A and B are shown apart, each in its own frame.
Chain A
Amino acid sequence: MANRINFYLILFSFLFYKEAFASNEGMPQLNPEFWISQIFWLTLVFGTLYVLLSKFILPKISNNLETRKSQIVENIGAAEKQREESDQKIKDYENIINEAKIEAKNIFNQAREKISKDINNKKESLKKEIDEEIKKAEAEILDLKNKSPEKINKIAIETSADLIKQIIGTEVNSSNISAIVEDISKKNEEKYYGN
């Protein structure tokens, strides 16, 4: 029921709509009553708007845009400059680092050389001392070696004389004994001291 009423209402509204177009009033746009007034006010208002915009506001906006542009260009220039500076500084820094590295290497090498020299010196002096000691010892040994056969012979002669005295009861001439001992020891000498 409500829908049917609504349907008629639409229908009527269409009728009214058509009637509105057909009415005496028609399109208010075509009613010339206020045309002059509209032209007058449009000219006045639009003229004022144009003058105010073109004289006061638009130059300011264009000026703002220009200054911003130039400022941005300037800032970019400054940034570029600073970047170059920082690049230069990085290079300088790397140079300093490299120099320091080379210096450190040099110092290290020098220290190593010095130390190895010292070690060599000490080694040599130690070697000399050791050699001297060895020579001394060798000389002593040689001395002992040279002296030992005589001593041995002497001891052998004495002991053999004693032995003979004990065994035989008489004293034998020591020169005879020494002759025999020397004879034996000479025979054995080759055995002990020979090469």
Chain B
Amino acid sequence: MATNPMHQFNVYRIGPEIKLGEIDISFTNASLFMVVSSLAILILFNIGSKKNYLIPNKIQLLAELSYSFISKMISDTAGSKAKPYFAFIFSIFMFVLFCNMFGMMPYSFTVTSHIIVTFVLATFIFIGVTIIGFIKHGIGYLKLFVPSGVPLVLMPLIVIIEIISYLSRPISLSVRLFANMMAGHTMMKVFGGFVISLGIVGGWLPLSFSVALTGLEILVAFLQAYVFAILTCIYLNDALNLHH
């Protein structure tokens, strides 16, 4: 008994070992679930956009509601200038959401519960946003670190804090998603282990906890994808519309 609750996060090779020079890029279970999530997204939205009925059917409605949901989120947080980045934010949101949701299936693997995956996504967003900021505002983008209306005496301190908070964005963004997914899944595993160990007599309590946790985790899966996407929008907003 007592299966290791961290066992579910193990990455293992599927199929042969693939090497690119000295680097191991084998196809793993993580890769498999990335592919599965992406395929699910592509299939769903392909079906949803294939035929244009005036009164949409269920899948078409789902695709169009998602589209207008993200579109509204972007225009609310980053304004109309963020329109060219719609496809990227849409892909980010859908990818994270589907990876989270596929992770909720028993015996599956949660891609987003690995710090390296979320960190790569967050770093990519961070670098992209910084580049966009410098392209749009030139060296003036550095004004982001100099808030207006701050006493001159406090300025060095504030600037240092702003720079640190800016640089910690990819870490906070990635750790938020990774930690949420890992903690939730570990907790579910632990309660699942309790159901077995307490048996028929006392197992009902952790079982009911497990059921409740599943609902909570589905909520968290959606919420974290949403948070990830909306934070991307907010960072993008900083780069596009320099407010300071």
Binds B, one of A4-12, A119-127, A156-164, A171-179: A4-12
Interface residues of B in 4-43 (CB under 8 A from A): 4-6, 9-11, 13, 20, 23-28, 30-31, 34-35, 38, 41-42
Q: Across chains A and B, which 4 residue pairs bring their CB atoms closest together, nearest first? A: A54-B87, A16-B2, A41-B31, A60-B49
Contacts of A37 in B (CB 8 A): 11, 24-28, 30-31
Q: Evaluate contact between A61 and B63: CB separation under 8 angstroms.
A: yes
Contacts of A17 in B (CB 8 A): 2, 5, 190, 193
* 14 cross-chain CB contacts under 8 A: A10-B198, A13-B197, A17-B190, A20-B6, A29-B178, A37-B25, A38-B28, A40-B20, A41-B31, A43-B120, A53-B42, A53-B90, A57-B42, A60-B50
Tell me the bound Cα distance from A20 to B56 in angstroms. Answer: 51
Q: Evaluate contact between B25 and A36: CB separation under 8 angstroms.
A: yes
Q: Which single member of B6, B11, B63, B194 contacts A38 (CB below 8 Å)?
A: B11
Q: Evaluate contact between B41 and A49: CB separation under 8 angstroms.
A: yes
The answer, yes or no, to whether B182 is at the interface (CB within 8 Å) is yes
Q: Evaluate contact between A27 and B9: CB separation under 8 angstroms.
A: yes
Binds A, one of B110-118, B134-142, B164-172, B231-239: B110-118
Nearest-neighbour CB distance to chain B for A40, whole angstroms, equals 4
Q: Which single member of A6, A23, A46, A57 contacts B49 (CB below 8 Å)?
A: A57
The answer, yes or no, to whether A168 is at the interface (CB within 8 Å) is no
Other A-B pairs, 20, CB within 8 Å; known A38-B117, A61-B63? A3-B201, A9-B198, A10-B194, A28-B11, A29-B116, A30-B115, A36-B23, A38-B31, A38-B116, A40-B25, A41-B34, A42-B117, A42-B121, A49-B91, A53-B87, A53-B90, A54-B91, A57-B49, A58-B86, A65-B67
Nearest-neighbour CB distance to chain B for A15, whole angstroms, equals 8
> Chain A residue with minimal CB distance to B36?
A45
Q: Which single member of A2, A43, A58, A71 contacts B67 (CB below 8 Å)?
A: A58
The answer, yes or no, to whether B147 is at the interface (CB within 8 Å) is no
Tell me the bound Cα distance from A39 to B60 in angstroms. Answer: 33
Nearest-neighbour CB distance to chain A for B120, whole angstroms, equals 5
Contacts of A29 in B (CB 8 A): 9, 113-116, 178, 182
> Chain B residue with minimal CB distance to A66?
B52
Q: Evaluate contact between B38 and A48: CB separation under 8 angstroms.
A: yes
The answer, yes or no, to whether B162 is at the interface (CB within 8 Å) is no
Chain B window 97-129, contacts with chain A (Cβ cutoff 8 Å), 1 for yes, 0 for no = 000000000000001011111001100000000
Q: Evaluate contact between B64 and A65: CB separation under 8 angstroms.
A: yes
Across chains A and B, the number of contacting residue pairs, with CB separation under 8 Å, is: 160
The answer, yes or no, to whether A33 is at the interface (CB within 8 Å) is yes
The answer, yes or no, to whether B88 is at the interface (CB within 8 Å) is yes
Given contacts A34-B11, A62-B67, contact A20 B5 (CB under 8 A): yes
Contacts of B190 in A (CB 8 A): 17
Most buried by B among A16, A25, A34: A34
Q: Evaluate contact between A34 and B24: CB separation under 8 angstroms.
A: yes
Q: Evaluate contact between A20 and B4: CB separation under 8 angstroms.
A: yes
Which residues of B does A touch, CB under 8 Å?
1-2, 4-6, 9-11, 13, 20, 23-28, 30-31, 34-35, 38, 41-42, 45-46, 48-50, 52, 54, 56, 60, 63-64, 67-68, 86-88, 90-91, 94-95, 111, 113-117, 120-121, 178, 182, 190, 193-194, 197-199, 201-202
Nearest-neighbour CB distance to chain A for B41, whole angstroms, equals 6
The answer, yes or no, to whether A68 is at the interface (CB within 8 Å) is yes
Contacts of B68 in A (CB 8 A): 65
Nearest-neighbour CB distance to chain B for A18, whole angstroms, equals 11
Q: Evaluate contact between B116 and A3: CB separation under 8 angstroms.
A: no
Q: Evaluate contact between A28 and B2: CB separation under 8 angstroms.
A: no
Tell me the bound Cα distance from A2 to B203 in angstroms. Answer: 12
Nearest-neighbour CB distance to chain B for A35, whole angstroms, equals 5
Q: Evaluate contact between B26 and A39: CB separation under 8 angstroms.
A: no
